[in-house]
A and B are shown apart, each in its own frame.
Chain A
């Protein structure tokens, strides 16, 4: 349900429904990368389909990512396993993270701020509350959000067959980088 609202919200942006530009910042092509550093294999993939929106007034945010957009696996088979066997994309197409920024942010002041984003991380259909530290770089014409965090597979009910546990890490390292252009009126 929340995902739906989020998507509608994002959709509204795309269609250019007039919203107060000062209220919301949006990111259309955020970058996300994950890395599984297991003893026997390192798997990584990335996507630039990360959608994001920040409500500057309310200090809230929402991100959404089509899981199928992850590319760059070691083999095509691995990619298929990732989509179908672990992430079950046909069932859980998107991964989302939405909530609020704990610290007060001044989006007009240029410079770098460290903030913490508290929200519900929904991966593989399992919601977990997370507090994720982020680096917010405010420029004249855009805001850059950088963050990295670990996702324990167990937290999201992503089960790895016993025999492959040496090839997939228990905690996946994720980093994102999202650019939110400031809309000039």
Chain B
């Protein structure tokens, strides 16, 4: 029993599995949902809201705080007070570019200088969740809450509007400002449209009575024509046009069956809707219909918490499984369709009414993307005959031209008739390479020339151009008819051939060798012809010259299968790695590859087509890729932003033309090239003007300059996705590092002047001293000479010897003593004469010897009294000064028994005096008078203190010399 039960259950499972598989196979076109990788801080956190600021950064409001995302890093922003809850429920940027943040607990905060700051109005903040923030045309900020109605901040005051003021409800789900500046609030009981007029407010109510499908309004959006789109709880979407003051439900939205809505975004091409359990809905304005992405169509049905369309019209999706997804609506993939899995497409062509024809190894198919999404099989019974088809063309009558290796088949899908044309019917060659046409002309390119067919057919069905007619180029890949009706032939090795007015022109003389094998041709909106080569890139021909685009110009891959021009006039280049998008006017190239969901392309050269709506369709081994940029602003390069600056690794705001001190010279710059499509691909070039000579290339988002010398700098950075850097993408920041004070002009001038003065002073001082020393030396020599002269004065010697003769007879020992003293005296004179200064003590010793010698001669007639204090004895005087003075005294005065000569040597007031009683000799001994004169002169050089001489007194004569310090010289 039990086993049976299990068996039955297993069967049920298998059936369920089969059902699941079959339901999986019904999804048709879908974009690539890229999962955004998350950092540790943001992972496993509910993403409550998403917002893109004007710079381009994405802001995520989560249960764990606010995060700023640049494609790679999530920068967290937490409230300054760690006790406050960080659950963010709303983010908004006002017209002053300030970021406002609303919290689940009613707190409001602002991002200022890179940090969150609580907003604390006098009136206090709400205590219920903030569900939205908006700013009206007059700069009044509005906050919607869940439980307390609306708040608005005007003239520094926070006002509240709730049910008591006429609001339809206090639980507000959504807030939106319309073109008239009115604030729309969605509640449980309808819409409240609020407008302020001075201090008065007006509330207009919109409910089911006015045509809303449901009173519970969950989400609001502003349309491109100023209409308001209203998403209700579970009864779908409607739109309100203020001109008509009516609520309408567009046909596609009637009979709502997608359950509960959570969020809505409207741009110029699409309306995106997030649901609680039906995934995501895309409404395309141009097609007027829905597409749904849910579990059955390639995307989980997890509850959508928020949707956000960014500046490039890409969609961000926050789900309640804490994941963030991102998609590019311009790229869509068809792998499976009701009716079959598509693979290995050999050729593709667009037909009338938006139909798409393609061929695979399994046959010929028709697919109508606009309506049924179903695949229909054609010519099923003729597979053996017609396959493989290598080119398809639908003519103006709706007949299908199929190119094969065995001629052309013409198929009329309406009457199902099939015709076969071969060389027998006049076709130039049976090996068809491509079929194109323009108006009534059909061009068939073959291995052996081109056949031209006209509707209605001429008697001779085909007009043929063979090798000869085609200037030797019989091997033709493609014929392309341009907007002027001229036919261009893509040849194998013979370059481009133009047929105009029945004449063929070759460009071999100007066409580069590398561009002569041509796989595909197209024309841009400026009328230039573009050609693709198998391995040498693409070339632009403007009628006069060929310009090549290759890897150096930014092409991702040179294995090019074909080209097409999209809705915005850009060149779509299909290659084995994906798509390159080239702006023909700027030459800029961007790339869609793996990160956009393209895992390599294997395609045949006739499997690219552009339909009447300018949607590019590419048939590949894996299925069909469609490319339609819509009205989105396709930025071709990352947006470069200098995000943060730091001084010594501490964040510092460097405004334009900041002035920094000389010691603030360690600078870091954080920059980013916003490129959400493939953030890892971005490379940077930066240069610090004033420091770097060349651009530095890096993958890093930071560059640091330690120890910058003072100067004027401009930091410049640019980013690229293909290492092609354009001048217009530069973000720059100028600043100045100030010189230190000692390098400033005025300081240099002042200190230079002071220095010069000092220098001059030193030079002068030195010069003076040298001069002084020289003069002293001269004086010294004079003195020495004089002293010697005086010492060898014959009188002195004669007198001394006479005295000595007298003593020898009387007292021998005294004589010896006398001679010794005499000798001591002369030795001292000899010793001292070279010196500039000697101590008073030394001089006095000399005087004592002199006195001894003279005493023997004069006896009691001469008396010398010395009273010099100890301090003074240690002072200095020029040598032999006293000796000279004493000698002078003895020389000029009488010293007799009647008139004894008293000489007194004493110190007084830092002077040393030699005085004597004045009793001049009657006759003068011959004297140069040099002695005293020399003393005065020498003292003049040594000190400012004068030598004092007493001339006036008739009884006393004295000379005073200053006592000197040794350090005088």
Contacts and interface: CB of A to CB of B under 8 A. Distances in A.
A116 B9 contact: no
B13 A102 contact: no
B894 interface: no
Contacts of A116: 216, 233
B149 to A, nearest CB: 15
Contacts of B13: 39
B484 to A, nearest CB: 62
Contact of A39 (B12, B171, B216, B233): B12
A83 B350 CA distance: 63
Interface in B525-561: none
Interface string B5-23: 0000100110010000000
Given A131-B216, A131-B233, A102 B188 contact: yes
Interface in B165-224: 171, 188-189, 215-216
Interface in A32-84: 39-40
Contacts of A179: none
A149 to B, nearest CB: 12
A118 interface: yes
B204 to A, nearest CB: 20
B9 A102 contact: no
Contact of B9 (A40, A103, A118): A40
B85 to A, nearest CB: 16
Given A118-B188, A131-B233, A102 B12 contact: no
A39 B5 CA distance: 12
A98 to B, nearest CB: 15
Contacts of A40: 9
A116 B9 CA distance: 38
Contacts of A131: 216, 233
Contacts of B189: 102
Interface in A90-117: 102-103, 116
A162 B157 CA distance: 54
Contacts, number: 16
B215 A39 contact: no
A40 B171 CA distance: 42
Interface in B504-531: none
A119 to B, nearest CB: 11
A79 B189 CA distance: 42
A96 B233 CA distance: 23
A118 B215 CA distance: 13
Nearest to B12: A39
Interface residues of B, number: 10
B531 to A, nearest CB: 58
A105 to B, nearest CB: 13
A39 B188 contact: no
Nearest to B214: A116
Nearest to B218: A131
A37 B93 CA distance: 47
Nearest to B5: A40
Interface in A104-157: 116, 118, 131
B313 to A, nearest CB: 32
A57 B67 CA distance: 45
Contacts of A118: 171, 188
A31 B88 CA distance: 39
A103 B207 CA distance: 12
B920 to A, nearest CB: 132
Contacts of B216: 102, 116, 131
Contacts of A102: 188-189, 215-216
A102 B215 CA distance: 9
Interface in B618-658: none
Contacts of A39: 9, 12-13, 16
A39 B15 CA distance: 12
Nearest to A102: B188
Contacts of B215: 102-103
A104 to B, nearest CB: 9
Contacts of B233: 116, 131
Nearest to B188: A102
Nearest to A171: B277
A159 to B, nearest CB: 15
A17 to B, nearest CB: 29
Nearest to A133: B234
A130 to B, nearest CB: 11
A120 to B, nearest CB: 12
Interface in B221-255: 233
B788 to A, nearest CB: 123
A24 to B, nearest CB: 22
A79 to B, nearest CB: 22
A92 to B, nearest CB: 22
Contacts of B16: 39
Instruction: With a 10 A CB-CB cut-off, give which of B12, B13, B188, B189 has the most chain A CB atoms.
Output: B188
A15 B12 CA distance: 53
A116 B215 CA distance: 11
B785 to A, nearest CB: 122
A102 B189 CA distance: 7
B124 to A, nearest CB: 23
A131 B215 CA distance: 13
Nearest to A116: B216
B688 to A, nearest CB: 53
A141 B188 CA distance: 30
A74 to B, nearest CB: 14
Interface in B1-60: 9, 12-13, 16
A39 B20 CA distance: 14
Contacts of B171: 118
A118 B233 CA distance: 12
Instruction: With a 10 A CB-CB cut-off, give which of A102, A116, A118, A131 has the most chain B CB atoms.
Output: A102
A164 to B, nearest CB: 15
A48 B658 CA distance: 75
Contacts of B9: 39-40
A131 B171 CA distance: 13
Nearest to B215: A102
Contacts of B188: 102, 118
B208 to A, nearest CB: 10
A34 B763 CA distance: 111
A118 B189 CA distance: 12
A116 B218 CA distance: 15
B284 to A, nearest CB: 30
Interface string B745-778: 0000000000000000000000000000000000
Nearest to A100: B188
A40 B189 CA distance: 43
Nearest to B9: A40
B210 to A, nearest CB: 16
Contacts of A103: 215
Nearest to A150: B277
A135 to B, nearest CB: 16
A40 B10 CA distance: 9
Interface in A8-42: 39-40
Nearest to A131: B233
A158 B106 CA distance: 29
A7 B467 CA distance: 98
B234 to A, nearest CB: 8
A40 B7 CA distance: 11
A137 B375 CA distance: 50
A118 B12 CA distance: 38
Interface of B: 9, 12-13, 16, 171, 188-189, 215-216, 233
16 contacts: A39-B9, A39-B12, A39-B13, A39-B16, A40-B9, A102-B188, A102-B189, A102-B215, A102-B216, A103-B215, A116-B216, A116-B233, A118-B171, A118-B188, A131-B216, A131-B233
Closest 7 CB pairs of A and B: A102-B188, A118-B188, A40-B9, A131-B233, A39-B13, A102-B216, A102-B189
Interface of A: 39-40, 102-103, 116, 118, 131
Given A39-B9, A39-B13, A103-B215, 13 more contacts: A39-B12, A39-B16, A40-B9, A102-B188, A102-B189, A102-B215, A102-B216, A116-B216, A116-B233, A118-B171, A118-B188, A131-B216, A131-B233
